[in-house]
Structure 1
Amino acid sequence: MFLEALSSAILGLALAWAAAHRLPHRLPARALVLPTGVAGGLFGAFVTHSALEAGGLPLILLGAAVVSAASLSLLLRPSGGLRSRSATA
């Protein structure tokens, strides 16, 4: 159980670091992005472990990666290049 939690936290941190490194203009400060990735990874591992009970480490890490990526995607801001004026403006 400890190995699952540690692995999912490291996986969430790695995903958050990669997202912050790749999309710095579309994400808020790293002080928010990195903990969000870790928390998403831990929550995903918890949900997957609760649902599958003895699913094994690879499945739990897959669930952690999915929830971590989903929580990081909620932080994305729209890109500045695609703005168009509304019809009423």
Structure 2
Amino acid sequence: MILEALGSALLGLLLAWAATRRLPHRLPARPLVLSTGVAGALFGDFVTHSALGTGGVLLSLLGAAVVSAASLSLLLRPARRLRRRSAPA
């Protein structure tokens, strides 16, 4: 159980690090992103482990990755490419 939690925390940290490397202009401060990735992965592991019970280590890690990615996606800001046009007077 401890190794599963450490593995999911490491997986969340890896996903958050990849997100900060890939989309630094669309994410808030780096410590917030890293902690959100780890917290999301731990929560996802907890929920998946509670639902499946023992023995589903790979599925628990998959659940951790899904919840971590979903929580990281909530931090994304819209791209600055949109142009707002003013209404004609």
In 1, Cα distance between equivalents of 2:51 and 2:4:
14
Q: Tell me which residue corresponds to 1:63.
A: 63
Aligned to 2:37: 37
Structure of higher CA gyration radius: 2
Change (3 A) 1:84 1:38: same
- Percent same amino acid at aligned positions? 78
TM-score, length-normalised on structure 1?
Answer: 0.92
Q: Name the count of aligned residue pairs.
A: 89
Give the Cα–Cα distance (whole angstroms) in 1 for the partners of residues 86 and 51 of structure 2: 45
Cα–Cα, structure 1 residues 88 and 6, in superposed 2: closer, same or farther, change >3 Å? Answer: farther
Q: Work out the CA distance in 2 between the residues paired with 1:86 and 1:42.
A: 45
Unaligned runs of 5+ in 2: none
Amino acid at match of 1:42: L
CA distance in 2: counterparts of 1:12 and 1:40, whole angstroms? 7
Structure 1 regions of 5+ residues with no counterpart? none
Deviations 1:8-54 (A, max 9, x none): 00000000000000000000010100000000000000000000012
Deviation >6 Å, runs of 4+: none
